Amino acid sequence: MITSPFGLETLRTCLAGIAPVELQGMGLLRAQPHLLAGNAVIPPSHLVEAVTEIVAYTGRCTAAARQLAQITPIPIRAIGIVEYVL
């Protein structure tokens, strides 16, 4: 059996290197935490744009999760991943 050069640590490093998505709504909350109290003055168009972006992003994440859930597993018998080899 061939062992894979990719292990759990490589996967963790790869995933940690992905830049986080910067959403306008989250930026607003970081810059002005008092937004949650409802006493901040933000132009309505800016607020609508930020909320629309968050809703769209949530929809894309949901669609991606649905697609990943439907992928059928493919057994790979020729490669052993070090963390899972008995």
Structure tokens at 26: 């989250």
Report, as an integer, the average pLDDT of 13-38: 82
Domain coordinates of the chain in residue numbers?
2-84
**d(Cα 61, Cα 46) in Å, to the nearest integer?**
23
Given this model, what pLDDT does residue 27 score?
A: 86
**d(Cα 36, Cα 73) in Å, to the nearest integer?**
43
Segment 27-64, tens digit of pLDDT: 887 877 676 666 667 788 988 999 999 999 999 999 99
Using a cut of 0.85, tell me whether the model's pTM lies above it: no
φ/ψ bin of 28: left (φ > 0), alpha (ψ from -120 to 50), beta (otherwise): alpha
